[in-house]
Amino acid sequence: MKYAVEVAHLLNGELVSVRRLSARRERRGALLASALVTSAFAAGMVAVLGVLRAFGRAVYAPEFLGLWLGLGLLSVVFAYVCVSRRLGRYRLGSRLDADGFAPFELDLVRRAGHGSISRRAKDRAQGGPGAGDGFDLTVAAGMQGAIENGRAPLPLEALVSAGGGPRSVRLERDARAEVRIGPSMFVVRSVPLAPGLHGDVPRDFWRPFSRLAMGALEVAMVGTLLSIIPQPQTIGDRPQRAAGPRITTPWEAEKRLRLEAQEQAASLHQCFDPLPISCQHPGYVGVGVSLNRDGELRSNWIARSTYGRECPVDQCMKDVVSTWIFDPLPEAMRVVLPVQVLRTEKPLPPKVAKVEAAAASGEGDLAVEWARGGR
């Protein structure tokens, strides 16, 4: 049957703390640390993708996934090993993360599985009691007390010499030791490991790996900048533009912008659907756009319109224009584009259709006037 080691810390005869070491407790803490790091990296990936999507950007998947998965895997492995090793030791010293105070840094109790590779292989080969799950008690000069390890009590002073280094003693089942270091006394004993006992994990178990995990998360976020690409577009999003003429001068660019704006003018129909039937007629709109060299909209506005106050469509058309797509330009441009708004897809009554046909010729002259009117 496997066993655990219980270490009680007493100061001037008063109980300060009790900590139990077991392989089951190590595995539970290590898995909890791995789940915590995995959740942090998953939340970071989702947050980064959400921010990029909000700004109209995407990422190159091979670089992005390789960076995040690689750093995440290394952080998970580090957290698992670090927490497993820390929970398998009872550490003495003057550091804040020590389990007990002592004038020197030392592992009072350590699981045998955390020793050297040759020693672990020797323990498995022997197949003795507790092989692979045994614990070692470290004895150093300056310690006082006794150990009962299945035989008569043996003084700790007899195990080490005055000038010798620390020595490890295997704790068998039902072993008990009392170690005195100044005013502190540590009672170490082997106890049976109950089947349903998982062992408590300290609240600060995350401290050993927190710095490295946060550093890896920051590196992943910064490295994402190298994999940012423009939002992907399908062929249908930019119809017949790949075969267009090459734009070399601002005047050619403006003419091309007018064609592209007119191609996308059909999307303005949605602004007229909720309006009365009196607004369902064709007209002209001066769409102001500010574009960078990549053809991306920096700002847009409605400069002029043939629709009066009885047809409030300016704000709606401004929102629709913000979704339009333009080809790259030779330079950044700020221009007002005349756009003809044809009638909506909603059917018109016969009387309105006659008025529409009669007004078509007059509105054509208005388009020519706007095209010449500058910006």
pLDDT band with cut points at 50, 70 and 90 for residue 245:
low
- One domain, residues 210 and 351: no
Which two tokens mark 150?
């299945």
Written as six digits, the tokens of 123 are 């323990």
Instruction: Indicate if the pLDDT at residue 238 is higher than 60.
Output: no
Mean pLDDT rounded to a whole number for the chain: 79
Return the pLDDT at 220.
Answer: 92
- Residue 361's pLDDT band, with cuts at 50, 70 and 90, is very low
Q: Please tell me the predicted confidence (pLDDT) of residue 69.
A: 93
Flag whether pLDDT at 117 surpasses 50: no
Residues 79, 207, single domain; the answer is yes
Q: How confident is the model at residue 362 (pLDDT cuts 50, 70, 90)?
A: very low
User: 268 with 178, same domain?
Assistant: no
Based on the structure, what is the number of domains in the chain?
A: 2
| pLDDT band, residue 128 (cuts 50/70/90) | very low
Over residues 160-195, the pLDDT tens digits come to 776 678 888 888 888 889 999 988 899 999 888 766
Residue with more model confidence, 198 or 322: 322
Q: Identify whether residues 219 and 240 lie together within a single domain.
A: no
Last residue of a domain, one of 173, 201, 225: 225
Q: Give pLDDT, residue 85.
A: 87
Q: Which residue has the tokens 């089951």?
A: 24
Residue 294 located in a structural domain: yes
Reply yes or no on whether the pLDDT at 256 is more than 80.
yes
Kindly state whether residue 192 falls inside one of the protein's structural domains.
yes
Closest CA to 70 of 277, 278, 216, 182: 216
| pLDDT surpassing 60 at residue 123 | no
Asked, for residue 215, whether it belongs to a domain, the answer is: yes
Residues 202-212: tens digit of each pLDDT: 777 778 888 88
- Worst-scoring range by mean pLDDT, 97-101, 120-124, 137-141, 301-305? 120-124
Let me know if residue 231 belongs to a domain.
Answer: no
Is it the case that residue 1 has pLDDT exceeding 80? no
How is residue 325 annotated by DSSP? -
Would you state the pLDDT for residue 118? 44
Domain boundary among 225, 246, 268: 225
Domain assignment present for residue 157? The answer is: yes
Domain that includes residue 338, residue range = 236-372
Residue 147 domain flag: yes
The helix (run of H) or strand (run of E) holding residue 337 is strand 333-341
* Residue 52, domain member (yes or no): yes
> Model confidence over 13-31: pLDDT tens digits?
888 888 888 888 888 888 9
Question: Do 101 and 20 sit in the same domain of this protein?
Answer: yes
Residues 202 and 342 in one domain: no
Confidence at residue 134, expressed as pLDDT on a 0 to 100 scale? 82
Residues 267 and 326 in one domain: yes
230 within some domain: no
pLDDT of 354: 52
Are 171 and 23 found together in one domain?
yes
Alpha helices in the chain (DSSP H): 23-54, 61-87, 117-126, 207-223, 250-263, 314-321, 350-372
Task: Tell me the mean pLDDT in the region 351-361.
Answer: 48
Neighbouring C-beta atoms of residue 230, cutoff 10 Å? 10
- Cβ 291 vs Cβ 326: under 8 Å: yes
175: amino acid identity, one letter: A
User: How sure is the predictor about 34, in pLDDT bands with cuts at 50, 70 and 90?
Assistant: very high
If asked whether residues 143 and 15 sit together in one domain, one would say yes
pTM of the model: 0.54
Asked whether residue 213 falls in the same domain as residue 247, the answer is: no
CA distance 16 to 253: 80
Asked which of 190, 206, 225 is the last residue of a domain, the reply is: 225
Whether residue 102 sits in one domain with residue 153: yes
What band does 121 get if pLDDT is binned at 50, 70 and 90?
Answer: very low
Give the pLDDT band of residue 244 (cuts 50, 70, 90): low
Same domain for 195 and 337? no
Query: Would you say residue 321 has pLDDT above 80?
Result: yes
**Which of 45-59, 234-248, 249-263 is predicted least confidently?**
234-248
